[in-house]
Structure 1
Amino acid sequence: MTQRNGLRVFLTVVCATLIGLIVAACGSSSSLQTTGQQQIRHVFIITLENENYATTFGANSKAPYLSQTLASQGAMVQQYYGTGHVSLDNYISMISGQAPTLDTDNDCTTYSDYKLTGRTADGQAIGTGCVYPASVKTLPDQLKAAGYTWKGYEGDMGNDPAREAATCGHPTLNTTDLTNTQEAPSAAVPLGDQYATRHDPFVYFHSIIDSPDCAKNVVNLDNLTNDLKSIDTTANFNLITPNTCDDGHDAPCVNGQPGGLTSADEFLKKWVPVITASAAFQKDGLLIINFDESSYATVTASAKEEDLIFAGTACCSQQPGPNLGAFPQTSSLAYKGMTINLTKQSFGGDQTGAVMISKFIKPGTVSTVQYNHYSMLKSIEDIFQLDHLGYAGQAGLVGFGSDIFTNL
């Protein structure tokens, strides 16, 4: 071999080695990006309604499938908290990190536009109203920008097309929200309609309702079964909101079902096996079953009036946000021919507990770390490597950690 040929062979070997190292490094980088919680590519959330931790997960629970069967299959997150009372403010916090306004804190009986007057340094919108301007971003906005997909599955949405559409269903802006009254089955509406706009956070953001994505992605729950048939048709983020009977909000229900935890447990028996059997979940899924808020602390009732008092306990150094006044606060609303007086001692949503299931969680895991809806949003943003919105970016807020993900 000549000296020139020897040099050529040497350089060829060096180049091949360098190329191999570069390829290996690239492969290693890709591998690092999908370790830990970022291995999760499909998140499913089922949000139930209005129960405290002791009632749901205590010895005499009316939801044994949730409190025993499902909790034993994954992680029992004992110290999970809502972020407010009554309903809507919790759902909004889950997908945007926004704290309540006086309107969202009372479920926006009028579907009014948000009047934005400013912003805080930590991303909180200052103002009044319900439907946030397009400048206030959400988790779906983030996911779309990053190339991920999302879906909202709404129980009963569109059952009464005279009341709301079957996709992106919501009232006309600045009108009364008729979905605060549930419809029993009738000749005109055979299935009845127990959809509640206030349990569908997507339709409170102009960035969503003004986009064609709303009609495509905010759909009736009946679409879920077909979407789960393949990984390609399963969204990366899925928020599942049962109707107000199946989520436990009403008891009894206008369709004759018992409601409360009994109906919520039956809903889970039907849908959780469908989700966990799907290819997307089995490959890299996470199922979170949470509650929007805890139930009231005390109640007194007469023939035409009920007084409900909420403790409003918070965790995780939660802040009230810029739009609420001093506590306690009292408000009244008409419901089923009665006057409901709501007294909130503080701004939190109280302890509810949650259950999480994934192949990345060892069965029988129990977490005693405190989390809330902002923690959940932060955790989902971390899974998909997104920035933190609103109070999900609060200094010191803890996302789901190794206390939950015990099988990574």
Structure 2
Amino acid sequence: MTDNPAQVVEQQAAPRRRRRWLRTLIVLTVMALLFGVPWWTLVMGGSAWPAGVVVAGTVLFAAGFVALPASMLLGHGRQRDWAAVAGDVLLGVAWVLFVWSVFGQLLGVALWAAGVADPARSRIVAVTTLVVGVAMLAWGHFEAMRVPRIRRLDVMLPRLGRGLDGLRVAVITDTHYGPIDRSRWSAAVVERVNGLDADIVCHVGDIADGTTDIRDAQAAPLASVRAAKARVYVTGNHEYFSEAQGWLDYMDRIGWDALHNRHITVERGGDRLVVAGIDDETAAGSGVRGHGADLDTALAGADPGLPVLLLAHQPKQVAHAVRAGVDLQLSGHTHGGQIWPFNFLVRLEQPVVQGLSRHGERTQLYTSRGTGFWGPPFRVFAPSEITLLTLRSGS
């Protein structure tokens, strides 16, 4: 124990410095692998490229190593859209080249076993890796920027009344309006949603990266979404990076029901369905006053005998849904992994990466792969989607 304030401050600061250095070390290690493995596969190894090729390739990878954190800090830290785009593209390129460089090394082992010697073996690996990597990036960019296809699915809810049989629920999520202006894309998404003639349209969070003021042009088409019964929205984790309450107010202003730990009731044919929404899992620790996922509050006053459709951004929030006896939870967040094989890393944190799953005796969870993309403008083996769920009555 000490009564010296300076010693107390120093004792508190030391662990923070250690954590900061540890985070820095982890980031540098990850970056060294992201850039180092492709550099070795494409430039060095046993390829014996001419000196000019080696120097140019080394300079290019070194520049990327420096530019990535700089552009990310300037772009996402200080809200410079041009820098954010540069950093996001560079991150996507580095990840794809890293993944396919690892496979390239496996190809090299196979060629070695087949008796192919260097430099021919390493040059085959380098060229193959580069061609496949560029093809994946081109295809992945097309997949990210196109208007999503419709994914249709029937979901049986045993407690759903006969009058609600065939209720159509359209789901969009993770639109991530951001540094790339996608106003026309947003309008095209709304047009496609309106063509579904849905009874309920849901936006399940991560609406944008940035405030309502700077992303209004991209979000504005949402005002034109049509639904026979309800348009509902909940926050995702990215709203808490900018202005979560601002987005809730914005969606209220354009005529959506912002389900900030509350519910509405939809009725058809004499039967009713509770549609509830809760804040994102990260809301409680965000520092935004009055925010935090609270399913008890969201369902307060609801008839316990009615089926419940819950909007919750992250699939792992299904644990709360199971305890509350929710019939169907709609989530996003995972993007289906977005750039393969990142889906395996997502699975370490979330119970489901995409699709329909069952949890407990009653609760089902549908996890969308997302309508837009975050960060790198690429989607590889994880196509975007607009989901149309048709609810079926058990009777």
TM-score where L is the length of structure 2: 0.26
The answer to which structure, 1 or 2, has the higher relative contact order (CA under 8 A, 6+ apart) is 1
Larger % of helix: which? 2
